[in-house]
């Protein structure tokens, strides 16, 4: 009895922190989503869907496209780090690919804004090289800009996980495939990736959740409609003081990420069976 009490006492500080600063605010905002005036109802949700259903689709599509691109790029980079035969270029890539991880989202947004704008650095270079005329230039400051920013920022993180998993594979499983005549691309797709799929999935889901919560990038790059839910939430609170709809949008984001988490849980359960 005494030891149980002691154990509880040891856990208590952490428990208080979590309850006070995480669970209580979460439940408050979930409850807030159902508060319409003085009573409870689905008013905030119907309003959210009326005003922002386009933005919800926009958000899911953008984050999904980004996730797929991040997956492909991280497999490509990790694969080259694992299977590359030129030690110097492997070393350079290994040194280079991590840099974007240390740059905050807001800075990424800012950098890409000046780079991708209609008269930004990228188009200026293309024009001065004679590839485009000034009339042909278009800005990328729309959904494409957001995807570029997300992919650029999140690929290193997923690559870090994927390359680590690839490096700890039994090398002889790769050599056995080479011994039978598999090309490096086939080895990557048929031998390496299936063995690290669990790690890849975890990385992509963490990335998905991170991207769902980024406010700075859509604000910096895509200050128009449709935009991402994070920007809508900020707008509801800052411009209208409308906490009800903001909370409802928050719950919807939460459900979207929960859906992804469910896919992940299903997958890991299947792997165990």
Binding mask 18-57 for other proteins (x = CB under 8 A): ----------------------------------------
Closest distance of CB 76 from other proteins, Å: 20
Closest distance of CB 185 from other proteins, Å: 12
d(CA 273, CA 260): 21
d(CA 235, CA 225): 12
Out of 194, 223, 262, 265, the residue judged to bind other proteins by CB under 8 A? 194
How big is the CA angle at 102 (ends 98 and 103), to the nearest 5 degrees?
115
Element (H, E) at 93: helix 87-96
Element (H, E) at 126: helix 121-128
Instruction: Considering only residues 195 through 214, tell me which ones interact with other proteins, judged by CB under 8 A.
Output: 195
10 Å CB burial of residue 35 (0-12, 13-18, 19+) is: middle
Total chain residues near other proteins (CB under 8 A): 15
Out of 191, 219, 234, 254, the residue judged to bind other proteins by CB under 8 A? 191
Binding mask 50-69 for other proteins (x = CB under 8 A): --------------------
Binding mask 151-190 for other proteins (x = CB under 8 A): -------------------x-xx-xxxxxxxx---x----
d(CA 201, CA 50): 33
């Amino acid at each position: 009895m005494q030891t149980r009490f002691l154990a509880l006492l040891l856990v208590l500080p952490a428990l208080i922190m979590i309850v006070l600063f995480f669970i209580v605010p979460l439940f408050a905002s979930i409850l807030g989503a159902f508060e319409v005036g003085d009573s409870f109802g689905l008013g905030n949700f119907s309003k959210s869907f009326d005003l922002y259903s386009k933005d919800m689709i926009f958000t899911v599509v953008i984050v999904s496209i980004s996730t797929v691109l991040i997956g492909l790029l991280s497999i490509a980079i990790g694969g080259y780090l694992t299977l590359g035969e030129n030690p110097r270029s492997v070393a350079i890539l290994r040194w280079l690919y991590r840099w974007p991880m240390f740059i905050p989202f807001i800075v990424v947004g800012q950098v890409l804004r000046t780079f991708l704008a209609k008269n930004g650095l990228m188009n200026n270079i293309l024009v001065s090289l004679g590839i485009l005329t000034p009339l042909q230039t278009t800005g990328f400051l729309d959904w494409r800009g957001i995807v570029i920013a997300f992919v650029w920022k999140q690929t290193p993180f997923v690559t870090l996980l994927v390359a680590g998993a690839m490096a700890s594979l039994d090398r002889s499983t790769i050599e056995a495939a080479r011994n039978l005549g598999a090309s490096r691309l086939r080895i990557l797709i048929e031998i390496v990736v299936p063995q690290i799929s669990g790690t890849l999935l975890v990385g992509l889901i963490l990335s998905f959740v991170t991207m769902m919560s980024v406010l700075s990038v859509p604000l910096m790059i895509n200050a128009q409609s449709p935009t991402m839910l994070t920007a809508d939430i900020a707008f509801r609170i800052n411009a209208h003081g409308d906490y009800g709809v903001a909370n409802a949008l928050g719950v919807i984001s939460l459900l979207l990420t929960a859906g992804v988490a469910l896919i992940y849980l299903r997958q890991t359960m299947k792997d165990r069976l």
